[in-house]
Structure 1
């Protein structure tokens, strides 16, 4: 007796159909999405953050005293706490993100006869340590092109001899008042002492006479002219002054 062929043929046909579909299947990759503008690239280098440049030699306590608005800083670094020789560098901070950069100097300078102090008193022959504003200038000679308010006065005349016997004549031809125990916005000759007379005053940057000072900072005359033409009240200049150890705190 013969077996009907149709069910068997149908089963084979279905099997071949399944095999054929599997063999002919095509695997497609997931579509790649183009990176939009600003999207990170796997091949790009990582972004490295560069902190703003700080003024060399200044410690965190000193840096904290510099106002955020200051964009010019005259840095006077004493050779030692009891020494009267120092170095001056002018720094500028035009771009806060980049920090401070040296603009002029280093220049040799003199400071107080007995060095530096964190608590200046009248006639102690030491220069005060700290950060002070620079807002006013003047001198016996005509204005050399100062950007700070300049008070030309014959009363800036000085005579006599310094500690080393050097003549003091011409020391106040150009001066910049340091805002220690004084009222900003007045002539360097102003005698008001907000902290009291016992705390001294009349601390200036002035023309060097070849020897130590009573508490001021002194620079050669050509450097004084350069400083007067550079310090800009719109940049809120300050002076950072003291011996290296004190400034490093």
Structure 2
């Protein structure tokens, strides 16, 4: 078996100081998500581009869903407040903060996307490890055989679930610095029940919105996902230089 590299998120390894944090200057594309509060499973998203030092919205905002229990601080590019509660595997909350956006995975052979955006067609042999005890936790693996064990079948990406037939990686707790048990497999994906159903921690939206967003993501712009409750967004907007 081998692990698929996530070249689109290589800049995650850049050291960032907790004091004086701001969005990386190399990032000129951002998906901004604002929720009403920490316990909200509803969020409003909007895509921004940076030009001439200023963030400008590109198109209208749209509605999406978050974890069924709301948000909690995640492990991304941002500094977390001292003593803050941080995401755990299975807590039902979406990670809040600033995250790189990685590649896309889906059932289709091809999708509409930027030529430089990584895309992998998912087969039954593709796994995304969500077992905190595994050394491959929050990594992708391609088996050289059909899944045979209970463990392999539990990690399969393709399980006949249409909501996960197309997704874009959100680099929470992402390689090369993965903390066991701090949350895995966080994506943008298709929502369920026309938006009536929250997620387990991902950000979901209508399929047409997801496909449109993916088609506009440009790896050369080091795209980011900023997800925050309204109060935290207002607190950090100026010093973090948020859209």
Please report the TM-score for the alignment, with normalisation by the length of structure 1: 0.63
- Pair 1:206 & 2:189 matched: yes
Poorly superposed stretches of 4+, deviation over 6 Å: none
Bigger radius of gyration among the two: 1
For structure 2, the residue ranges without an aligned partner over 5 or more in a row are: 1-17, 74-85, 125-156, 236-243
Instruction: Tell me what 2:224 maps to.
Output: 238
What is the match of residue 164 of structure 1?
A: none
Hey, what's the Cα distance between the residues in 1 that align with 2:94 and 2:158?
A: 22
Give 2:25's match in structure 1, choosing from 50, 68, 72.
Answer: 68
For residue 119 of structure 2, the aligned residue among 137, 150, 173 is 150
1: CA distance, partners of 2:28 / 2:34:
19
User: What is the distance in 1 between the residues matched to 2:174 and 2:110?
Assistant: 22
Aligned partners of 1:141 and 1:104: how far apart in 2? 26
1:116–1:129 contact (8 Å) kept in structure 2: yes
Residue 110 of structure 1, CA deviation: 0.1
The number of aligned residues is 168
Question: What root-mean-square deviation, in Å, do the aligned CA atoms of Structure 1 and Structure 2 show?
Answer: 1.9
1:109 aligns with 2:64: yes
In structure 1, the gaps of 5 or more residues are 1-60, 160-168, 185-193
For residue 176 of structure 1, what is the aligned residue in structure 2? 168
- Deviation of 1:80 after TM superposition, in Å, equals 1.8
How high is the TM-score relative to the length of structure 2?
0.65
Q: Say which structure, 1 or 2, has more relative contact order (CA 8 Å, 6+ apart).
A: 2
Q: How does 1:86-105 map to 2 (within 5 A)?
A: 86-96=43-53, 99-105=54-60
- Distance, in Å, in 1 between the alignment partners of 2:59 and 2:184 is 27
Deviation at 1:196, TM superposition (A): 2.2
For residues 44-63 of structure 1, the aligned pairs below 5 Å read none
**What is the DSSP-based 3-state SS (H/G/I as helix, E as strand, rest coil) of the residue aligned with 2:164?**
coil
Change in Cα spacing, 1:244 to 1:142, as seen in structure 2 (3 Å) is farther
SS of 2:208's equivalent? helix
Between Structure 1 and Structure 2, the one with more strand by share is 2
**CA distance in 2 between partners of 1:171 and 1:179 (Å):** 19
Show the counterpart of 1:217.
203
